[in-house]
Amino acid sequence: MSFRLRVLGLLVLVALTATAATAWLAVRQANRQVQEAVSAGQQDVSRIVAGLRAYGYAHGTWQGADATVLQLARRTGQRIQVVTEAGAPVADSDTLAGREPRPGSRPAALVDARPTVRLPDMRTPRESGKLMATAIAAYRSSAPYAACLTRAGVPVAVRPGIYGVPQASTDHRPAQCAELPTESDPQTPQDVTRLRTCEQASDLAPCLQRVFNERTAAVAPPRLEVRLGYRNESPPTLAAAPAASAAGGVALAVVLGALLLGRAVLRPVRAMTHAATALGDGDLGQRVPASGRDEIARLATAFNRMADSLQAAEDRQRRLTGDIAHELRTPLANLRGYLEALRDGVVTPTPDLLASLHEETLLQQRIVDDLHDLALAEAGALTYHRREVDLRDVLDAARTAHRAQAGAAGVTLMTEAPHPAHVTADPDRLRQVVGNLVVNALRATGRGGTVTLAALTRGGRAVIEVRDTGTGIPAADLPHLFDRFWRADPARGRTTGGSGLGLSIARQIVTDHDGTVEARSTVGAGTTFTITLPAAPGPCQEGAAPPPSASR
């Protein structure tokens, strides 16, 4: 049996059962249901709550709210009684209309006049806490001022101020209502301390709002209970004939709905079946229409999200293959250049050169062995062989490894090491980081330019700087430099090159050494990458080495 017929049969059965049950239950339960719901319509409740809240928001007090309550009572046709949560009466539309007050019913709603603070998005928890402290101080100043103006009978003009906190003003401010400046609020430090408890909360915004309510409770209008109608009010009754007519209409509507449902369900199901088959055959560009908010639409959205993830994973895999090849291409080209120079007799095979080439070969072998652990780099789980290292040795090794490439490009590659700079680190990993930065600097620097490798100590920290006099990086691109797979220019030429993988790996290696790496640049003047690492205790003392010198 097809899905359409099964759905139709099921809905017909449900319709017949529902019709019989509705006819029997309608009259029996109607009076009780109406009695429970008749205290107020939801629309009237919302209108009354909004009107009272707007008054408290603007005036900072419930004094003078009688006119608002009477106006709301006339507009909704409801008897409105307003009291505080402690039971203190505020206003009663019976009294305001000159009638004898009738016994109030149960509370229908609560009114809280305090504002809902709207903080800017994309802020850290600490920054959001500081902004909330500013909002608290502003409300503690504005609410008493508005209340004072109201008590003095002065018209109050209110507009939403900072982060939604009301800001009261008037053309005729009485002397007794001096406005307090927010900046002088002595409670702000205590507010900040209390708000810091929300920094680790999973629900940051609700937590900050709760602290706002707590810290402004002393100046805010108290919460109100709104009671509509009066006790033992007779609710309207439901006639049996309309209920029976409604039951018949339900049955007819269900049958018609079953036909429409079968058509509405089967069409997207067929589309998803076709798209899933195409995905299975390798066509990752297949998507299905997703409109509406029902279960079928959510299923289509989930299917499209899955297809997007599969396509993104395929794209990442392709980019990763190219990035791995690029990560190895430049250092291997250096080795090839030296080997060809040795073969042609251009370079003398000295022991130092052979040792450097052998060391570079070992480094590349290690990079190849570690590439399959690239995912571990982002998880901070790479293996390191740490020992005490003088950063001058790291820079000398990087200069030796890239001297030929710099000479071919017509770029001066030099080192500056004023003092010893000792760190506890993996020297090969540091060479990998510095080498990546040097390659980027050489690529960005034109003929006649300079790339400088500097090692120094600063405030108990060891610092490596790679400075170039190249083209520079636009300020808009600086925040993305260390993003994985990101490139300012997708083209892979000598001047723009780069896969976007090296800087991401470099940042992770530096982070795993408890360090930081950052870049600053001026377009047309050059770029400086700064690596800061914890200095090793003891040897890393400024002034422990001969006067500064530079080597080329």
Confidence at residue 426, expressed as pLDDT on a 0 to 100 scale: 92
Query: 367 or 236: which carries more pLDDT confidence?
Result: 367
pLDDT-derived band at 117 (thresholds 50, 70, 90) equals confident
Angle (nearest 5°) at CA 503 between 419 and 316: 165
Query: What does 500-550 look like in DSSP terms, one character per residue?
Result: SSHHHHHHHHHHHTT-EEEEEEETTTEEEEEEEEEBPTTT--TT-SSSP-E
Interior/surface letters 104-122, b for 16+ CB within 10 angstroms, e for the rest = bbeebbebbbbbebebeee
Confidence at residue 551, expressed as pLDDT on a 0 to 100 scale: 45
pLDDT-derived band at 256 (thresholds 50, 70, 90) equals confident
Confidence at residue 7, expressed as pLDDT on a 0 to 100 scale: 63
Confidence at residue 536, expressed as pLDDT on a 0 to 100 scale: 86
pLDDT (tens digit per residue) in 32-76: 555 555 544 678 888 888 888 888 888 888 888 888 888 888 888
Do residues 424 and 462 make contact, with C-beta atoms less than 8 angstroms apart?
A: no
Confidence at residue 387, expressed as pLDDT on a 0 to 100 scale: 93
> Is the model's pLDDT at 533 over the cut of 90?
yes
> Is the model's pLDDT at 491 over the cut of 70?
no
Eight-class DSSP state of 162: G
Please state the rounded mean pLDDT for residues 486-496. Answer: 50
pLDDT (tens digit per residue) in 265-296: 677 777 878 888 888 887 878 788 877 776 77
> Is the model's pLDDT at 414 over the cut of 90?
yes
Number of neighbours of residue 148 by Cβ within 10 angstroms = 20
Query: What does 411-426 look like in DSSP terms, one character per residue?
Result: -EEEEE-SS--EEEE-
Beta-bridged to residue 463, according to DSSP, are 456, 532
CA separation for the pair 62, 56 (Å, rounded) = 6
Neighbouring residues of 232: CB distance < 8 A, sequence distance ≥ 6: 103
CA separation for the pair 551, 193 (Å, rounded) = 53
Confidence at residue 540, expressed as pLDDT on a 0 to 100 scale: 43
CA separation for the pair 552, 538 (Å, rounded) = 29
Question: What is the percentage of the chain residues whose pLDDT exceeds 70?
Answer: 77
pLDDT-derived band at 237 (thresholds 50, 70, 90) equals low
Structure tokens at 162: 């900072």
Do residues 432 and 508 make contact, with C-beta atoms less than 8 angstroms apart?
A: no
> Is the model's pLDDT at 244 over the cut of 70?
no
Mean of per-residue pLDDT scores for the chain: 79
Q: What are phi and psi of 89, to 5 degrees?
A: -70, 145
Positive or negative CA dihedral for 335, 336, 337, 340? positive
> Is the model's pLDDT at 454 over the cut of 90?
yes
Number of neighbours of residue 337 by Cβ within 10 angstroms = 16
Confidence at residue 234, expressed as pLDDT on a 0 to 100 scale: 60
Least confident of 49-63, 310-324, 503-517: 310-324
CA separation for the pair 324, 502 (Å, rounded) = 9
Structure tokens at 42: 């939801």
> Is the model's pLDDT at 448 over the cut of 90?
yes
Do residues 330 and 406 make contact, with C-beta atoms less than 8 angstroms apart?
A: no
pLDDT-derived band at 374 (thresholds 50, 70, 90) equals low
pTM: 0.39
Confidence at residue 499, expressed as pLDDT on a 0 to 100 scale: 43
Query: 538 or 405: which carries more pLDDT confidence?
Result: 405
Question: What is the percentage of the chain residues whose pLDDT exceeds 90?
Answer: 17
> Is the model's pLDDT at 545 over the cut of 80?
no
> Is the model's pLDDT at 379 over the cut of 80?
no
Query: 265 or 101: which carries more pLDDT confidence?
Result: 101
Eight-class DSSP state of 178: P
Taking Cα atoms as reference points, which of 38, 82, 81 lies closest to residue 56? 82
Confidence at residue 26, expressed as pLDDT on a 0 to 100 scale: 65
Confidence at residue 179, expressed as pLDDT on a 0 to 100 scale: 57
Cα 364 to Cα 125, 161, 354, 551: the distances in Å are 42, 60, 15, 26
Q: Tell me if residue 37 falls in helix, strand or coil.
A: helix
Query: 393 or 57: which carries more pLDDT confidence?
Result: 393
> Is the model's pLDDT at 297 over the cut of 50?
yes
Please state the rounded mean pLDDT for residues 184-188. Answer: 72
The upper half-sphere exposure of residue 301, i.e. CA atoms within 13 Å in the direction of its Cβ, equals 8
CA separation for the pair 524, 470 (Å, rounded) = 7
Residue 436, burial from CB neighbour count under 10 angstroms (0-12, 13-18, 19+) = buried
Taking Cα atoms as reference points, which of 503, 516, 511, 415 lies closest to residue 462? 516
> Is the model's pLDDT at 208 over the cut of 70?
yes
Q: How far is CA 143 from the centre of its chain?
A: 32
Query: 369 or 86: which carries more pLDDT confidence?
Result: 86
Confidence at residue 521, expressed as pLDDT on a 0 to 100 scale: 93
Taking Cα atoms as reference points, which of 431, 445, 377 lies closest to residue 399? 431
Structure tokens at 454: 């500097």
